[in-house]
Amino acid sequence: MSAFATAESILLAPNAIDPAQLDGVFGQLAAHRVDDADLYFQYSRSEAWSLEEGQVKSGSFNIDQGVGVRAVVGDKTAFAYSDDIRLPAMKEAAATVRAIAAAGQSATVRLPRREAGRSLYAPIDPLASLGEADKVALLLRLEAYARGMDPRVSQVMASLAGEYEVIFVTRLDGRSAADVRPLVRCSLQVIVEQDGRREQGSSGGGGRFDYAWFSDERLKDYARLAVEQALTNLAAKPAPAGTMTVVLGSGWPGILLHEAIGHGLEGDFNRKGSSAFSGRIGQRVAAPGVTVVDDGTIPDRRGSLNVDDEGTPTQRTVLIEDGILRGYMQDGMNARLMGMAPTGNARRESFAHLPMPRMTNTCMLAGDKDPAEIIASVKRGLYATNFGGGQVDITSGKFVFSAAEAWMIEDGRITYPVKGATLIGNGPDVLTRVSMIGNDLRLDPGVGTCGKEGQSVPVGVGQPTLRIEELTVGGTHA
């Protein structure tokens, strides 16, 4: 069944709505002059299971549906939403939204046109792909694998989550699009203990497929990675502090790129002039060799979408090319106001939220250096292979990130693990300090969630191994 057929059968038909009837809602919205308007329908079913110490700690199941009605005039937006998808409720929401429209007659003519569909992922319901007892059994196996890795494992916490989402968006200009979005994630946290010292490690993964993705081999890999990280931290010494060369590992360390640089390349911040990258298209903003893309078209990835939440097909957007700023990530409104084209980056948490420009899968492309060569080039520095939390100021680009796993490099060799290391710097400045780029681009395992203005959406990150010069490391001793 096509995404359109699925959306009509789940969202429209049960509520006795014929797509042609939506013209009446747009007629209300366009009674006064508006620059844009859309209706965003959403149906979602989600579940989450968590296991702790061999017992199911929690299990939740949620069904949500509704419609958001939006009109845009200039840079002003009117928005109303309802969990009642029936036509009278939509017309009432449209009447509320129309109140902000400027006076004058609309010259807009709405002509029906469906965006051509594509399939970056299968339109499946992951929640139905495994029985409840089997979901619990999966978590029990994951716990057993983790405990079997090392006798020092003292606690195991595992979780499994899935979502089946159907969206249908129709716009004032006649375009409409639909998408069926599966999403699964498995997470593991372990605590190891030795001689009264306790440390933790975590791992996991997921993407836009069903629970069959979590094969026994993949679960064993999650267990191994989490236990290895915890044991590494168990043996770690206090991190040094000071300015030094930092080598970032491939894959998940791209979260630093996402936070410290990615948000500053979103259209709304640049339209308002509040980003460090505002007005700098065509200028050098990074070292030669640095190319950063946002790509929402990678099959099955957590951050990928067939269409964004305004119905625009996602794309591969080059943000920085060989150190030169080439563009921003755009939704419809900011693109229109900046005289640019939308890039398929309009995203919203649900029908009850407004869309805004957001990242999908953001990564720095590979260079030509062997990772071993990068390590060997460092006299003394820090090798950060995993990150925990961080904070970023979009306007200045300043960031503070804590390393969940890091090692010292001495005389070109990785010597001993350290804990308590934080990386402190400025995103745009760090881009100019990249001196070596590895040939080992890797994407994260599928665990990323991005927050912006109170909305959370799934994202992907990635990068190759990077050498960065003179980055401030906050540690516990000089």
Q: What is the pLDDT of residues 447-465, one digit of tens each?
A: 999 999 999 999 999 999 9
- Tens of pLDDT along 93-125? 888 777 655 443 333 334 455 666 789 999 999
d(CA 90, CA 325): 42
How many CB atoms are closer than 10 A to CB 200? 16
Low-confidence stretches of the chain (pLDDT beneath 50): 102-111, 478
Contact 69, 77 (CB under 8 A): no
Quick one: which H or E segment has residue 417? strand 413-419
Contact 166, 306 (CB under 8 A): no
pLDDT at 103: 40
Contact 70, 25 (CB under 8 A): no
Phi, psi of 157 (to 5 degrees): -125, 125
**SS3 state of residue 305:** coil
**Single-letter residue type at 153:** V
Query: Structure tokens of 40?
Result: 């965003």
Looking at residue 215, the DSSP 8-state letter turns out to be: -
Q: Distance of alpha carbon 25 from its chain centroid, rounded?
A: 33
Query: Structure tokens of 167?
Result: 């969206």
How many CB atoms are closer than 10 A to CB 391? 10
End-to-end CA distance of the chain: 62
Minimal CA–CA distance to 221: which of 235, 204, 234? 204
**SS3 state of residue 126:** helix
d(CA 180, CA 443): 23
- 113-114 and 175-194 strand pairing: parallel
User: CA distances (Å), 453 to each of 2, 152, 268, 358, in order?
Assistant: 33, 41, 12, 11
Please tell me the pTM assigned to this model: 0.93
Dihedral sign, CA of 131, 135, 137, 142? positive
pLDDT at 104: 35
pLDDT at 363: 97
**SS3 state of residue 295:** strand
pLDDT at 465: 98
pLDDT at 109: 39
Looking at residue 236, the DSSP 8-state letter turns out to be: P
- The DSSP string of 104-117 is S--------EEPPP
pLDDT at 344: 97
Query: Structure tokens of 77?
Result: 């937006």
User: CA distances (Å), 282 to each of 258, 267, 272, 279, 322, in order?
Assistant: 21, 16, 19, 9, 11
User: CA distances (Å), 407 to each of 85, 251, 356, 380, in order?
Assistant: 54, 16, 38, 11
pLDDT at 30: 76
Query: Structure tokens of 395?
Result: 């306007």
Minimal CA–CA distance to 174: which of 94, 116, 114? 114
d(CA 238, CA 475): 7
pLDDT at 259: 83
